[in-house]
């Protein structure tokens, strides 16, 4: 999101014009284009600064250059303030509010009076403090004596960025309160004047030509060289530094979520697993001395030794389908945000007693998105349409169908409970609650929920890249001519599709002959392009089993003799730090091993946690005798409420996989299953297919 051709940094000031001679603590700005800094500019007052910004933005838009525009004051206030003032948590609504209430001219402005007025709403002792004028202002204390702040003193980012001032302090050396109040209206006007072209970080996705970003030079910069005005030097240094970051470096810094308060670019945000540690070399080392490992033990082992290996990125909600959340998502707004009516009908104050009722009907109506602004007096009714916010005085609604309307009155039968046919504010989700947990793979319904609670972008894991390689001298590509003894590569298309359907990013690494050098090269390439490698074939301990031989040479290989059917030994190892799942060559065994072993392991590494397939106890439609020792998976499907199995257990019979809609899992011990006996059915859907 961060290819910018132009970087500009503005050092803001809340003070008035003090003359034409460049001086510190005024507004300063510097532009860097193509890594070259222009001379920093002294902007003597906010009117001049506004014109300068206007000209700059027009010029960059016209030239088709993306502009990164930094400002050194908070874009938001500590949490709760936006809601208390505007009724929503949206910081940009607060920008609009300040824009409407701040009066500004080069010589005078109303910032102290406005701070006093805001304070009076909260009892007159805070949140703002310090009157910088000679005259007294009602509600704005001069000192902190008696000060009381209903909001947090600092934004979260300010608790991490030491030495920052709070935005509540309106005057005094270093205070930023005035700058914020006088700066936000200016940014807000830019936002509206260039609507659709400007995005404000971190509240909006930076998908527009102009990005407006909060950044504080004094957090990172030291003293200016002798003879230079500090502010002029700082804006130049910041713009230059930004222009020299690689796209990845800038993206990493921009990747924060702070929906209400905003953030300061460059202050690291604590995010889970942003740079996950590599897997340990011994992660596939089975406990010594084990001959045949039971399936459950092998799974428990993988679960214990593996961990997420993908990093995170922020994407807009529209692009987040099926992505995995990297962190918990907190609802920014309640759903529903206010009490509203669940039906078309008539609203009034409830409850209503038993028996026939007649009520005068007020003029007007409340509809979804078009609230009724006045009170509804007790004993009167108002027309309300589904989704409309309940006006003051209305808490109960009667269904349209149950009402007759005549002569300006409605008639219906009671009783009706208070709250009937309405939805409570937050009855679905309350603002501040966790809407969805980290590790969640986002479903269509999740996108609806997140959108409803005001989430526009989410921090998600990068998709796990899964490379697929087929091995075997006998393999040719379908469509090529096959000599006697050759077969078409069936596993690769299947495994690529499985990886995709299970929610990972498939990477096709082709076929390799049974040749150690060729295989080594291919694994090297795959390890560069993917996070995990799936191979099929060559995983046993025979002469031509080069996958296991190479992994063994690499020193991080384990042969897992898992007690399962169908399945031959599974070769698990690390190749250049990348986990390799050496699957059996048999297509049926390859698919079963993928579903039973690779899938939960891949899910864990992708960041979605360990997913057990959901099984169902159902009656069998078949008879089968099974010896003790190995767990068995049969190709199966449900018909007429019973599980039937494929007529052959031959592990080369691919058509049985197509016939099946799931697997029947038969436990490790001895069993004689007769029709009607209970068996466990695992639908393919429960593996994410």
Q: Which residues bind Mg ion (CB under 5 A)?
A: 472, 537-538, 585
According to the binding rule CB under 6 A, does residue 491 interact with ligand AMP?
yes
List of residues 6+ apart from 478 with CB closer than 8 A: 488, 489
Count Cβ atoms below 10 Å from residue 275 Cβ, excluding itself.
8
Q: Which of 463, 503, 538, 600 binds ligand AMP (CB under 6 A)?
A: 538
* Residue span binding ligand AMP (CB under 6 A) among the ranges 38-46, 338-346, 490-498, 611-619: 490-498
Q: Which is nearer to Mg ion, 267 or 512 (by Cβ)?
A: 512
Q: Which is nearer to Mg ion, 573 or 585 (by Cβ)?
A: 585
Please tell me whether residue 397 adopts helix, strand or coil conformation. Answer: strand
Q: Which of 14, 567, 584, 662 binds ligand AMP (CB under 6 A)?
A: 584
∠83-11-184 over CA atoms, to 5°? 25
According to the binding rule CB under 6 A, does residue 540 interact with ligand AMP?
yes
Rounded Cα distance between 271 and 147, Å, is 35
The listed partner (Mg ion, ligand AMP, none) that binds 470, CB under 5 to 8 Å by sort, is ligand AMP
User: 678 has which bridge partners?
Assistant: 619
| Helix-helix angle 546-554:516-529, to 10 degrees | 70
According to the binding rule CB under 6 A, does residue 474 interact with ligand AMP?
yes
Number of residues forming the site for ligand AMP (CB under 6 A): 18
Rounded Cα distance between 567 and 656, Å, is 16
Q: Give least dist CB 569 to Mg ion, A.
A: 13
Rounded Cα distance between 592 and 632, Å, is 10
User: 680 has which bridge partners?
Assistant: 617, 665
Q: Which is nearer to ligand AMP, 321 or 497 (by Cβ)?
A: 497
Please tell me whether residue 486 adopts helix, strand or coil conformation. Answer: coil
Rounded Cα distance between 642 and 622, Å, is 9
Q: Are 193 and 54 in contact (CB under 8 A)?
A: yes
According to the binding rule CB under 6 A, does residue 472 interact with ligand AMP?
yes
Q: Is the peptide bond before 325 cis (omega within 30 degrees of 0)?
A: no
Q: Which is nearer to ligand AMP, 70 or 537 (by Cβ)?
A: 537
Q: Which is nearer to Mg ion, 410 or 547 (by Cβ)?
A: 547
Structure tokens at 310: 């993908």
According to the binding rule CB under 6 A, does residue 509 interact with ligand AMP?
no
Q: Give least dist CB 655 to ligand AMP, A.
A: 13
For the four alpha carbons of 390, 393, 399 and 404, in that order, the dihedral sign comes to negative
Rounded Cα distance between 23 and 228, Å, is 10
Q: What share of the chain is helix, strand, coil (3-state, %, to 5)?
A: 25, 25, 45
According to the binding rule CB under 6 A, does residue 535 interact with ligand AMP?
no
Q: Which of 265, 539, 564, 679 binds ligand AMP (CB under 6 A)?
A: 539
Residue with nearest beta carbon to ligand AMP = 585
Q: Which of 209, 345, 587, 603 binds ligand AMP (CB under 6 A)?
A: 587
Rounded Cα distance between 446 and 495, Å, is 28
Q: Which is nearer to ligand AMP, 166 or 535 (by Cβ)?
A: 535
According to the binding rule CB under 6 A, does residue 470 interact with ligand AMP?
yes
According to the binding rule CB under 6 A, does residue 490 interact with ligand AMP?
yes
Q: Which is nearer to Mg ion, 350 or 584 (by Cβ)?
A: 584
* Residue span binding ligand AMP (CB under 6 A) among the ranges 394-402, 405-413, 433-441, 470-478: 470-478
The listed partner (ligand AMP, Mg ion, none) that binds 13, CB under 5 to 8 Å by sort, is none
Which residues of the shown chain bind ligand AMP in the complex (CB under 6 A)? Answer: 470, 472, 474-475, 487, 489-492, 536-540, 584-587
């Amino acid at each position: 999101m961060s290819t910018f051709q132009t970087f500009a940094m503005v050092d803001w000031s809340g003070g008035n014009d003090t003359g034409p001679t460049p001086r510190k603590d005024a507004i300063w700005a510097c532009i860097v284009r193509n890594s070259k800094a222009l001379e920093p500019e002294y902007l003597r007052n906010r009117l001049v600064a506004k014109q300068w910004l206007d000209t700059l933005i027009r010029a960059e838009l016209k030239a088709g250059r993306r502009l990164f525009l930094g400002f050194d004051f908070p874009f938001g206030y500590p949490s709760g303030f936006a809601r208390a003032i505007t009724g929503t948590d949206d910081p940009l609504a607060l920008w609009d509010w300040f824009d409407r209430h701040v009066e500004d001219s080069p010589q005078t402005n109303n910032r102290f009076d406005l701070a006093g007025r805001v304070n009076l709403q909260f009892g007159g002792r805070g949140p703002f403090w310090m009157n910088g004028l000679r005259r007294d202002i009602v509600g704005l204390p001069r000192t902190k004596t008696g000060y009381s702040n209903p909001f947090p003193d600092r934004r979260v980012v300010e608790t991490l960025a030491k030495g920052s001032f709070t935005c509540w302090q309106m005057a005094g050396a270093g205070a930023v309160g005035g700058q914020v109040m006088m700066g936000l209206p200016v940014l807000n006007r830019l936002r509206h004047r260039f609507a659709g072209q400007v995005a404000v970080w971190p509240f909006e996705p930076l998908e527009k030509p102009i990005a407006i970003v909060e950044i504080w030079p004094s957090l990172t910069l030291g003293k200016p060289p002798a003879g230079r005005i500090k502010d002029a030097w700082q804006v130049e240094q910041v713009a230059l530094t930004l222009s020299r970051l690689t796209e990845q470096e800038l993206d990493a810094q921009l990747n924060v979520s702070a929906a209400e308060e905003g953030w300061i670019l460059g202050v690291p945000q604590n995010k889970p697993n942003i740079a996950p540690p590599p897997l340990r070399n011994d992660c596939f080392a089975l406990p010594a001395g084990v001959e045949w490992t039971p399936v459950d033990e092998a799974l428990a082992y993988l679960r214990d030794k593996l961990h997420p290996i993908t990093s995170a990125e922020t994407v807009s909600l529209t692009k987040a389908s099926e992505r995995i959340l990297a962190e918990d998502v907190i609802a920014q707004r309640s759903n529903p945000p206010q009490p509203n009516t669940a039906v078309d009908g008539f609203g009034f104050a409830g409850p209503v007693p038993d028996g026939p009722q007649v009520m005068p009907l007020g003029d007007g109506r409340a509809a979804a998105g078009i609230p009724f602004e006045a009170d509804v007096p007790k004993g009167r009714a108002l027309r309300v349409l589904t989704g409309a916010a309940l006006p003051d005085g209305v808490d109960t609604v009667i269904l349209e169908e149950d009402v007759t309307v005549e002569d300006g009155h409605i008639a219906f039968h009671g009783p009706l409970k208070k709250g009937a046919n309405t939805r409570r504010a937050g009855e679905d989700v309350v603002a501040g609650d966790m809407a969805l947990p980290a590790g969640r793979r986002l479903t269509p319904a999740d996108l609806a929920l997140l959108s409803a609670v005001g989430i526009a972008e989410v921090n998600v894991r990068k998709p796990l890249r899964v490379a697929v390689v087929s091995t075997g001298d006998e393999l040719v590509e379908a469509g090529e001519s096959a000599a006697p003894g050759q077969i078409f590569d069936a596993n690769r298309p299947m495994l690529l599709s499985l990886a995709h359907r299970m929610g990972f990013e498939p990477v096709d690494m082709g076929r390799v002959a049974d040749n150690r050098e060729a295989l080594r090269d291919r694994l090297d390439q795959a390890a560069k392009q993917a996070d995990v490698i799936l191979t099929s074939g060559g995983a046993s301990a025979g002469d031509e089993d080069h996958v296991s031989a190479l992994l063994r040479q690499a020193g991080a290989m384990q042969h897992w003799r898992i007690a399962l059917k169908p399945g031959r030994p599974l070769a698990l190892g690390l190749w250049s730090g990348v986990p390799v799942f050496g699957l059996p060559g048999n297509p049926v065994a390859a698919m079963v091993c993928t579903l039973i072993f690779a899938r939960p392991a891949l899910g864990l590494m992708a960041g979605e946690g360990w997913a057990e397939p959901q099984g169902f106890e159902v009656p069998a439609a078949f008879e089968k005798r099974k010896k003790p020792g190995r767990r068995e998976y049969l190709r199966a499907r449900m018909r007429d409420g019973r599980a039937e199995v494929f007529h052959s257990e031959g592990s080369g019979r691919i058509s049985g996989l197509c016939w099946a809609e799931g697997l029947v899992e038969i436990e490790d011990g001895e069993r004689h299953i007769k029709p009607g006996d209970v068996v466990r059915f695992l639908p393919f859907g429960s593996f994410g297919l």
